[in-house]
Amino acid sequence: MTFNKVTIIGVGLIGGSLAKVLKARGMAREIHGAGRSRETLELALRLGVIDHMGQDSVRAVEQADLVVLATPVGTFEPIVRDIGPHLKTGAILTDVGSVKGGLVRTVEQLLPAGVHYVPAHPIAGREKHGVAESVETLFQNARCIVTPTERTDRTALDAVKSLWQAAGATIVEMSPESHDHVFAAVSHLPHVAAYAMMCSVSELNAGEDQYIDFSGAGFRDFTRIAASSPEMWRDICLANAKNVVDMIDRYQFVLSRMKKAIHRGDRAKIERLFKQASDARRGMQ
């Protein structure tokens, strides 16, 4: 499928990488970029990631066949409220957000009849962000979750699936609610834990005692994702708050078990808990 006009709102790492895929595969005759930062859009234009730029999202989506929301999830509702009335009949709206659930239902309700929404979430990224880090190969061998509802147009769904398959991703379908429960565990909680670890250790730094200077590969590997965009992850945690809090409670419960075992010097229990974790990690593909 080839789209005459694609508008990407939020031309960062994900949005920029998707634009590069569209260009490389000849799937878009022209790509328009929109967003808050003029500097980012000008850089995307200079790099050839987009063909046209404008900070006004409403004007950018006019006559677009495909519109991609690649901004923090906290901005989805206000953006859709603005652009919804200006989307042409038959246009496809999709996103790359890490939260679905109630957000999907809200977006669906805001769109006019004849505009098709297909929620998506590519499981790809880096700790660094920004259009300068975007690459055409970002989504190769990754998974892309699509979360259709009973209102999703099947032709639009197939078009969005085809786009992500062209990017090299494997498509997985699940409900918006299942998506949020799963990713609270395997994505949102790890980011919270990494941020917490960095806060815990960085707050120890005082005077000449710079603890982080002595960190090795283990600490750096564990906290790598704490370099991710704070704004983006703030919005993700707030949008999926119940599931994230539930997972933090679960994590604290397990940490408490480990803490008690260490405090009591219970060698057998410490080893049993660590082995449970080690076996599960070794079993990951």
**DSSP characters over 62-129:** TT-SEEEE-S-GGGHHHHHHHHGGGSPTT-EEEE--S--HHHHHHHHHHSPTT-EEE-EEE----SS-
Asked whether the beta carbons of 184 and 246 are under 8 A apart, the reply is yes
H/E stretch holding 4 reads strand 3-9
User: What pLDDT was estimated at residue 283?
Assistant: 93
Closest CA to 186 of 113, 112, 92, 281: 281
Q: Tokens for 51, please give them.
A: 């063909």
Kindly indicate whether the domain formed by 178-282 is annotated with CATH number 1.10.3660.10: yes
Question: What pLDDT, on a 0 to 100 scale, did the predictor assign at position 275?
Answer: 97
Please tell me the predicted confidence (pLDDT) of residue 187: 95
The per-residue pLDDT for 96 is 96
Q: What count of residues does the chain have? A: 285
Question: How many helices and strands (H and E) does the chain possess?
Answer: 12, 9
| Angle at the Cα of 207 from the Cα atoms of 202 and 213, rounded to 5 degrees | 50
Neighbouring-strand partners of residue 144? 122, 171
Which structure tokens are listed for 27? 């799937």
Which residues in the chain land under pLDDT 70?
A: 127, 206-208, 285
Q: Which of 176, 146, 193 is nearest to 239 (CA)?
A: 176
What's the fold here for domain 3-174? Rossmann fold (3.40.50)
pTM above 0.85, yes or no: yes
Q: Which amino acid is at 109?
A: Q
18 and 135 Cβ atoms separated by less than 8 Å: no
Tokens 């009591």 locate to 264
Give the pLDDT score at 4: 97
DSSP 169: P
For the chain, the structural domain boundaries read 3-174, 178-282
106, 141, 143: which is closest to 121 by C-alpha?
A: 143
